[in-house]
């Protein structure tokens, strides 16, 4: 796998701003429970999920409970948590309980060139970095995936020499390396999502 496998993502509705979180070994209902998300409905397909997420923005709710839309779907041994214009999956208060007894990884990007990649195991932050500056890493194992990062498409040369254009596709490819799950446009477009509203 490498960044070239994920060039399709730039043409999706999610490319404006997304957060994708993968949790191993628990189902969508348990994943939402761990982040205190209230399940509300099932929707089929990415467009329907984005409509749900857009309607879930707190500013649209006069009760002001501060909850954000998130969708969960079951994959092969993993649950995919999906956000459109959301940052729950890169919030440590969310990731710590989500990773209890299991593995979690997440990646995020928006049109303002803000991006993050996280990898946790049972509350241990193994790796965190910004794909835009992937040479700056932290966590308990910041250098354990350097060779893989270069193979999948991260440019780790000095900042004035690098081409960061593949950083988001490379984040998808690194996630595939860690999970064994390839995210495809068809998978996103045809999955059924258990949707919930979670506290920010």
Cα–Cα distance for residue pair 137/5, rounded to 1 Å: 24
- Give me the pLDDT at residue 138, please: 96
Average pLDDT (88-99) is: 94
Domain boundaries, the chain: 3-199
Cα–Cα distance for residue pair 196/200, rounded to 1 Å: 12
- Give me the pLDDT at residue 34, please: 95
162 to each of 9, 132, 138, 158, 166, how far by Cα in Å? 21, 10, 20, 6, 11
pLDDT digits (tens, 9 = 90+) for 3-20: 999 999 999 989 889 999
Any idea what the Cα angle at residue 94 is, between residues 76 and 100, rounded to 5°?
60
pLDDT digits (tens, 9 = 90+) for 37-53: 989 999 999 999 999 98
Average pLDDT (180-200) is: 93
Contact assessment for residue 146 and residue 129, using Cβ atoms and an 8 Å cutoff: no
Residue whose structure tokens are 């998300």: 37
Overall size of the chain counted in residues: 200
| Greater pLDDT, 57 or 115 | 115
Q: Which two tokens stand for residue 22?
A: 């993968």
Average pLDDT (164-168) is: 88
């Amino acid at each position: 796998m490498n960044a070239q496998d994920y060039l399709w993502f730039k043409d999706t509705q999610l490319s404006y701003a997304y957060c994708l979180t993968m949790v191993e070994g628990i189902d969508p209902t348990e994943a939402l429970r761990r982040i205190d998300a209230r399940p509300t409905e099932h929707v089929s397909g990415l467009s329907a999920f984005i409509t749900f997420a857009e309607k879930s923005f707190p500013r649209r709710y006069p009760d002001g409970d501060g909850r954000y839309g998130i969708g969960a779907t079951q994959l092969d041994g993993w649950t995919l948590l999906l956000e459109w214009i959301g940052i729950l999956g890169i919030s440590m208060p969310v990731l710590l309980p989500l990773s209890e007894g299991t593995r979690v990884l997440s990646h995020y990007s928006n049109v303002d060139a803000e991006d993050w990649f996280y990898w946790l195991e049972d509350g241990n932050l193994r790796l965190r970095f910004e794909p835009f500056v992937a040479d700056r890493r932290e966590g308990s194992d910041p250098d354990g995936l350097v060779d893989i990062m270069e193979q999948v498409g991260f440019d780790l040369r000095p900042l004035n020499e690098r081409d960061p254009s593949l950083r988001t596709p490379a984040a998808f490819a690194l996630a595939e390396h860690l999970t064994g799950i390839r995210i495809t446009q068809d998978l996103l477009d045809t999955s059924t999502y258990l949707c919930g509203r979670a506290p920010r």
